[in-house]
Structure 1
Amino acid sequence: MIIATWTGATAKTLRKTLNWSQERFAEELAITDRTVRNWERRGHHQILTPHYAHELGDLLDRLSADQLRQFSDAVVDNPSTDRFAVADSSCSGPKLDGRKVVWHPMPGDGSYPEITDMNRRELLRLLSTVTLTLSTPIDWERLHGIDPGDRVTAATAHEYSEINRMLWESYGALRVKAGVFRAAREHLGTLVDALQHPATAAVDRWLRELATDTLQLIGEVYFDADLYSDAANCYTLAASLAAGIDAYDLWACALTRHSYLALYDHECQQAGSQLESAFEIATRGNPELSTRFWVSSVRAQALAGLGDQAGCDRAFDAARGVEHLSASASSVAWMRFSGERIDEEQATCYVQLNQPDAAQAILEPLLQRPLSSRRRASVLVDLAAASAQHRDPVRVVMYGSAAFDIARHSHSAYVARRLSQLAPYLTPLGRDHHIQHLRHNISPLAYAPR
């Protein structure tokens, strides 16, 4: 058994399973009993660092079969333990410190049980706390009586950064992105606490960068779930925090992610203005990161929405500059743009610009390549739209039905959104009964932004 997210609650369950006192538990982990008490007091709100997760995993491996059964039953029965935390070690997934980290699959009903109203209210409270913590000169050490020895050091900040990396990897691996929401929200809470007593100015900046990074991840989860207002709040605060410390790449990324909200609302002029600002900021960032190239690729989509094909092509040409980054260029979890999808993004723009031949020339070969279900569905939707522009109902139904099958089995809000974008292209072919059937199938998938 592996615990994907060790919290104060699961650590306490392990201690009780071992029938150890807090003092014995602390001695085994080479920490103070005060630290153990703090973990247990915070319960599931305390996400432990990778170092302690590794140590606790070693203790877990030492349990007898009866103890392991007792621990497993206690974890499952404990409502304060993450419902997706327990996993079988035979499953695949990202690794942290050489140990597999896997998430229990979320229900496949298209719902988002992790993003409850209570969780959203808790995150809203956290956002307010973030703003207060970072904008008000409060002497937290005096207020909380913090011992100088308890200040957050660079070593601890590094472990927090490993948690950020793990969360982004899990977000990429999960079919239902909401599965990472609770862990990300609680990690943000840990970072807010840490920001109240950093050991040095450099650690303070590092923690602010990690908080900005985590806010953008939570925003991505909200965006994937069509919770656009919540996503906008996260992106806006992330941009504000990044601007306050001149973290140019994080700042540009937050603005670019926010621009997608305008793009999905067909507010291309507004998106274009945001992206111009994001590009100017990105040029002041780390030249070894791909931020400015990603901004250019998104800006191309805004220009296509405005009907500017020449500007769109120029922006995509600029985005292809990512191919000239050296193999040793810096890489961060929150910026994964490699240019791999530029061709299909340009094909989407060609469909929008009513250039179906150019779109099909790019898209049809892509179906012969191994693609993720989300990418394959996106390609299929664009091929269906291009076929509709050619007035070819047979191919529209072939491609559209294949995309619908992916949406039905994956319960992906992203695929549902892409299918809903197909609807206007079907209208001129509405008399064909096969087209009518396809429209009937995809119409319930058109989730409205919440």
Structure 2
Amino acid sequence: MRQLRARERRRSGAEEGAVMGLAGRRKTLGYSQEELAELLGVDRTTVGRWESGRIKPQPLQRRSLAAALQVSLTELDALLAPPPATDREAAEPQTSDHSGAGDPDEMIRREFLRILTVSGVLTGLPLDEAEALAEGVRRGAPADFARMNSHLWQVYRLARSKSALHLVVRDQLATLNDALAARTPGSSGPLLNAAADLFQLAGEVSFDANRYTDAASAYSLAASVSKDARAYDLWACALVRHAYVDMSERRYQEAAQVLTAAERVAERGDGALATRYWVASVRAEAHAGLGDLGACERALAQAEKVQDLTAGCANGGWLRFDGDRLGEERGARYVQLGRLDLAEATLKRALEQTALASGHSYRRRGAVLTDLAAIGARRSDPEQLVFYGREALGLARASASGYVARRLQALCEKFGPLGKDQRVAELGTDISMLNTP
């Protein structure tokens, strides 16, 4: 019924929408922000940002948005252009459909508080202890910065939407910067460690949001600060994360060079930590990208030695590698190398493990599902491709994970002739509409 009503009003609505902008066109067609967001497969806040002019739709989203609003791409550009403000508008505060409730910064803060409440990461502390921790951070106490960073990493791990931490991490960095400025030279070692830790978390938040330049900058700062503090394990982990930026853009040779440097740094670190074995695990991915099965297998064998370490080899923050994901990592490497016979059985075992793992990870399970879908594409099996691809798509939507969305978009490049299958084509269309920041 709504679509019929929209068609009947299209001609007059186009003229009115051109004057009122994107929000006006949406209202003319009878959509709320939530309804339009659901139709496009994006978050309501994304629609709000489009309408406020804070961000522009991505190229893959523009065509779907134009179709939903029943306008051409040229007309859509006109709707997206900010209208000139009248004298009255310039003098009065601007309002929106939700009177401030849709402000992105405020929504991020509320989401962060919700995560804290649900996870119990900070709210589990006694009130006096939580207040003491906050006061210690304000005073610049290194131990309290380290504890707060640890809490933030836990929230990051539990959060479906990693962007919820952006403002909190930014504020923590600003506070830490003030604390460093107040310190005398030579007395800031523990604070430098806390800064290197926090820069890595900032990079992770940016990487998950597809902001590669921001992520690379944060990882570079983390490596530089770690080097100054002679914190070799922190330094090596920052280099590993920087290598992921290169691999996300398929610069495997550059990644391998960074990982060689990370390996040398990790050898100077704490042998009781898992750092050097994480380096080996990521080196396996770079070797697989370069098509070197032998080097990949050797790196995986080295990574598996992490199982000889005692408990506590990972801290759950900037170092989280403990070997529990090596099965899915091995399966993913076999997919990269085209060894589908080895990959499928390995990945199916890994899929069962992710379902049983504590702290169930949407990102982790989504990656395994995408790899199984990729096997279907390589075997020209549309049923397998669509079955696993649809499951991964559901997780990407539920978690708003940029990582899973990127993996799915890379999957579309493997469709080949299967792209002519209606089910596969529909999957590709739905993936193209994913909300990746």
State the TM-score, normalized to the length of structure 2: 0.68
The answer to whether the Cα contact below 8 Å between 1:93 and 1:173 also exists between their aligned partners in 2 is no
Q: 1:161 aligns with which of 119, 143, 146?
A: 146
Contact 1:249 1:291 in 2 (8 A): yes
Partner of 1:297: 281
Distance across 1 between alignment mates of 2:108 and 2:363: 31
1:429 and 2:429 equivalent? no
Contact 1:216-1:235 within 8 A present in 2 as well: yes
Aligned to 1:91: 118
Equivalent runs, 1:368-383 vs 2, <5 Å:
368-369=352-353, 370=355, 371-383=360-372
1:263 equivalent in structure 2 = 247
Q: Check the 8 A contact 2:112/2:164 in 1, yes or no.
A: no
Give the drift of 1:92: 3.4
Aligned partner of residue 340 in structure 1, secondary structure:
coil
Offset, 1:197: 3.0
8 Å CA contact retained: 1:219, 1:230: yes
SS in 2 for 1:286: coil
CA gap 1:296/1:79 in 2 versus in 1, 3 angstroms: closer
What is the identity, as a one-letter code, of the residue corresponding to 2:209?
A
Q: In 2, Cα distance between the equivalents of 1:383 and 1:84?
A: 32
CA contact (8 A) 1:350 1:358 kept: yes
Q: Given the superposition, is the C-alpha separation of residues 229 and 340 from structure 1 closer, same or farther in structure 2, using an over 3 Å criterion?
A: same
Q: Deviations over 1:16-36 (max 9, x none)?
A: xxxxxxxxxxxxxxxxxxxxx
Q: Secondary structure at the match of 1:98?
A: coil
How has the CA–CA distance of structure 1 residues 174 and 217 changed in structure 2, closer, same or farther, with 3 Å as cutoff?
same
Residue 404 of structure 1 deviates from its aligned partner by 1.4
The offset of 1:446, in angstroms, is 8.2
> Deviation of residue 180 (structure 1)?
1.2
Q: 2:387 aligns with which of 394, 398, 409?
A: 398
8 Å contact kept, 2:287–2:295: yes
Residue 152 of structure 1 and its aligned partner are, at CA, apart by: 9.9
Q: Is the contact made by 2:314 and 2:320 (CA closer than 8 Å) also made in structure 1?
A: no
Q: Helix, strand or coil for the counterpart of 1:252? A: helix
1:443 has 2:432 as partner: yes
Distance in 1 (CA, whole Å) between partners of 2:112 and 2:388 is 38
Native 8 Å contact 1:417 1:446 kept in 2: no
Are positions 1:214 and 2:189 aligned together? no
Q: How far did residue 210 of structure 1 move? A: 0.5
Asked whether the 8 Å contact 1:153–1:198 carries over to 2, the reply is no
Partner of 2:14: none
Compared with structure 1, are the counterparts of its residues 253 and 429 closer, same or farther at alpha carbon in structure 2 (3 Å cutoff)? same
When structure 1 is superposed on structure 2, of 283-292 and 191-200 the one drifting more is: 191-200
Q: Which runs of 5+ in 2 are unaligned?
A: 1-102, 128-135
**Matched-pair contact (CA < 8 Å) for 2:304–2:323:** yes
Structure-2 separation of matches of 1:283 and 1:337: 16
Asked if the contact 1:252/1:281 (under 8 Å) is kept, the reply is yes
Partner Cα separation in structure 1 for residue 108 and residue 286 of structure 2: 43
1:397-436 residue CA offsets vs partner (Å, 9 max, x unmatched): 1111111122223222111111012112211322322222
Alignment of 1:24-39 (within 5 A): none
Amino acid at match of 2:295: G
Alignment of 1:16-415 (within 5 A): 82-84=109-111, 86=113, 91-95=118-122, 98-99=125-126, 156-198=141-183, 201=186, 203-329=187-313, 331=315, 333-369=317-353, 370=355, 371-415=360-404
After superposition, the Cα gap between the structure-2 partners of 1:86 and 1:230, relative to the gap in structure 1 and judged at 3 Å, is closer
- Alignment CA distance shift 1:362-1:79 (3 Å): closer
Matched letter for residue 372 of structure 1: S
**In structure 2, how many angstroms separate the alpha carbons of the residues matched to 1:314 and 1:86?**
44
In 2, Cα distance between equivalents of 1:178 and 1:427: 33
CA distance in 2 between partners of 1:363 and 1:88 (Å): 30
> Which residue type is aligned with residue 434 of structure 1?
R
- Is the Cα contact below 8 Å between 1:356 and 1:387 reproduced in 2? no
- Asked if the contact 1:419–1:446 (Cα under 8 Å) also holds between the matched residues in 2, the reply is no
Range that drifts further, 418-427 or 269-278: 418-427
Question: Closer, same or farther in 2 for the Cα pair 1:210/1:381, shift >3 Å?
Answer: same
Sequence identity of aligned pairs in percent? 41
Shift of 1:334: 1.3
Q: Is the 8 A contact 1:288 1:329 kept in 2?
A: yes
Aligned CA distance change for structure 1 residues 82 and 368 (closer, same or farther; 3 Å): closer
* Cα-to-partner distance string for 1:150-202 (whole Å, 9 max, x where unaligned): x999992111111111111111111111111111111111111111233784x
CA contact (8 A) 2:370 2:389 kept: yes
- Which TM-score applies when normalising by structure 1? 0.66
Alignment gaps of 5+ in structure 1: 1-76, 101-150
| Aligned match of 1:138 | none
Aligned-partner SS, 1:367: helix
Distance 2:433 2:366 in 1: 17
